[in-house]
Chains A and B, each alone.
Chain A
Amino acid sequence: MSRTLQLALLACLTSGIVSCSRESRILRQPPPANDILNTVQISGLNPGANSIPTPPPSNMYQESAYAVSEGQTLFEQYNCVGCHAHGGGGIGPPLMDRYWIYGSEPGNIFATIMQGRPNGMPSFRNRIPEYQVWEIAAYVRSMAGLLPKGVSPQRPDEMRVKPSESSTPPQIPTGITGSPEQHQ
């Protein structure tokens, strides 16, 4: 019995250490990092060496189901659906397919939203706070099925327009001028 007790204690300890990032709720946002836009690249081409000198920024929000769910809410509330619908596109390009004009990495999406893009994508710099842009970027990736199932949102409490992001099969990105894809 004491051996069982020891095993149980060990299980408790290890599970406490391996605390689930999927369930984290980041309620106090880290301060905005102003150099993100300097490190994001759209094109994978460099003169000289073939590799990208600096690793692209990661998005800690895409590991948290809560943050992705917030991103889903914001996507609708900030009227991204006005141009992109729920991923099917319209005035703007679709977001749920394989084609990413400006790259599918979290940093690329962040830069797209912050800077705006030619032919109609507004710049939301100073309008949407940075952490919310990261949340929206995480949600956008989930629309193409690029986030793990546990983190992607399930069906919203609204009328159904498409299958939920968590049941969307992953659309492996092929950019038109895409940056080299990192492993998901």
Chain B
Amino acid sequence: MAVTEPVVANERDVADAELARRLDRTWRQPKGFWGWFSNTHHTAIGLRFMVTAFVFFLLGGILAAMIRMQLIRPENSLMGPDLYNQVFTMHGATMIFLFAVPMMFQGFGVYVVPLMCGARNIAFPRLNAFSYYIYVGGALCLWGGLLTNTGPDVGWFAYVPLSGPQYSPGHRTDIWAQMITFTEVSALGVAVCIATTILRHRAPGMTLNRMPILLWEKLVLSFMVIFAMPSVMVASSLLLLDRLVGTHFFNHSEGGDVLLYQHLFWFFGHPEVYIIFLPGAAIISTLVPAFTRRRILGHTPIVLSVVATGFIGFGVWVHHMFATGLPQLSESFFTAASLMIVIPTAVQFFFWVATMWNGRIWLRLPMLWCFGFFFVFLIGGLSGVMLASVPLDTQVHDTYFIVAHFHYVLIGGALFPMFAGIYFWFPKMVGRMADETLGKWHFWLFFIGFNMTFFTMHFLGLRGMTRRVYTYLPEMHWGPLSALATAGVVFMTAGILVFLVNILRSMRMGKIAGDNPWGDFSLEWATSSPPPSYNFVHIPMVNGRNPLWDGPIDQPLIVGLRDDIRETLVTHSLDTEPQHKDEDPGPSIWPFLTALTVSAAFIGSIFTPWAVPIGAPPVVVTLIGWLWPRGHSPAPLPGRESWQH
């Protein structure tokens, strides 16, 4: 099929330039207004995921600031209970569904994974684009709701019966439930794309044994998404049926079960937080070797830990329900599982320390954020060990102790690595380096503010302050600590503002980054910054776990893919033998149009059941447009380089 042959240096440069020119013409990304909506290249979609998710991070942060301002002193009257309930529900829902998964899994995954695999584009690029638009549809559905006083007000988890038809009248909870549908469809789409890219589009030579930890993690994550998301879709769909159709799934008077909702929700909910944390851990596993200048110690155990976390993560969900009065024996089982899941993460921590212990640390900005992760996530993880125990959990469940715990693990485990990853891959995405000094200001302001806010919450929780309270009595003596927690918001906001200034400035005025400013070893650094539309001039071959460190100067390359059509290489999942060639479908407006019709059908069905029969035909039409056969690409012109099998 493809032939691999060493090419002589000076001839190669000339041939490369010509090849690059032709590839650029073939893979060119469409321009203009409609071109923007037709783009299916993974770098564009990945950047859009990241930027959109960050916008929702900022919006969710504004909501958090509102919460803290309301709680700054007892019996504050900044917000009444109705608005407060909407604000904290939207804060949780936005951060988890509209920021954490879209940024950590979808954004980083879609951008980095094909580059790290050595592929030209992600698998199923139109499904990838559709996933982005449907995510935006869900986000607009939810925030449109908030702006029309229809924001959900039942908590981000929306327990029945409070979220049921009797106690949550109107359409607020329906907006929430339908947003779930949107974002879960989006996540499932991206999971399929990423899993397929990792399994079938890896560069030849990148056997599973040589696959970077980040690719392993994204593979595990894709399967976690595929198994976990349906559970919350079932929960939200049953809730919608109860609310809109009159079923009795959660109506205990008619034989339904209130706890069923909790089981379904948390069966998703717990893997969800690992879906948020594992990308963070993988970013650390990627950055530590780069900034310690050595191969990571314990590559295989770390990979096994990631896989184990993925599996065990599905077996711990009841620890969110320890206060419901379930039998002791079953609760103890989940205590054991929740303690067991600490072990893989501990193993990763030990190997990170071991890698750094014998290395020389180049403490640049991404590495600084890695250290932030170590300090912050460790506290969150250890407080999590406390929560695994049933008696302890019955005391601190639904208090600010839990709020402190999960912010430490989510912010420490996802946000700190996110910033590390942004600063790390920023040169690759934009072609310029971010400013180190501003980045350090960002780090320290955010670190101080974060600890000021959330460490204090541990004490508030131990002192009995429950969650989701719009105010509290002065006699409870929670005022001073709450004020301290609110003060931290100032520092965090300042830090984020510095970050925005840094990014916006560096996009125009940052130092030009070369292909590989960090001297890292994975394949995305083997192409220019930013990558061209075709990613790599030649599909690379991989010789070891650290391709750019292990590969020789005269590393063989793959030749033989056509440059006049968008041809990609499909390899065997285990040993990456080239198997066949596939044609990338190219830019297409149909994913966007399909997302429009599907969004209309979803949102309409909240208001009337007629939206289903009326909304379905446009969906079918757009799907037909999407799936319309394209015919075969013309045969290559004679005289072009042909390939042998």
Contact = CB atoms under 8 A, between A and B. Distances in A.
Interface stretch (B97-105, B159-167, B211-219, B589-597): B159-167
B608 interface: yes
User: Which DSSP category, helix, strand, loop or mixed, fits chain A's interface?
Assistant: loop
Contacts of B33: 3-4
Interface in B316-335: none
A167 B246 contact: yes
B149 interface: yes
Interface string A146-184: 000111011111111001100100000000000000000
B5 interface: no
A160 B36 CA distance: 52
A15 B147 contact: yes
B243 A154 contact: yes
Contact of B164 (A3, A157, A167): A157
A154 B244 contact: yes
B165 A156 contact: yes
Contacts of A19: 147-149
B237 interface: no
Contact of B242 (A20, A27, A155, A163): A155
Given A157-B164, A157-B251, A157-B252, A66 B169 contact: yes
A33 interface: no
Interface in A104-145: none
Contacts of A167: 246
Given A154-B243, A156-B165, A163-B246, A18 B148 contact: yes
Interface in B237-280: 242-244, 246, 248, 251-254
Interface string B163-197: 01111011110000000000000000000000000
A156 B149 contact: no
Contacts of A163: 246
B253 A69 contact: no
B617 interface: no
A20 B80 CA distance: 18
Nearest to B244: A154
Nearest to A164: B246
B147 A27 contact: no
Contacts of A49: none
Contact of B150 (A23, A64, A149, A154): A23
A84 interface: no
A154 to B, nearest CB: 4
A64 B170 CA distance: 8
B224 to A, nearest CB: 33
B253 A157 contact: yes
24 contacts: A4-B33, A16-B147, A19-B147, A19-B148, A19-B149, A20-B148, A20-B150, A23-B170, A65-B169, A65-B170, A69-B169, A72-B166, A150-B607, A153-B169, A154-B166, A154-B244, A155-B165, A155-B246, A156-B166, A157-B251, A159-B253, A159-B254, A163-B246, A167-B246
Interface of B: 33, 36, 80-82, 144, 147-150, 161, 164-167, 169-172, 242-244, 246, 248, 251-254, 607-608
Interface of A: 1, 3-4, 12, 15-16, 18-20, 22-25, 27, 64-66, 68-69, 72-73, 149-151, 153-160, 163-164, 167
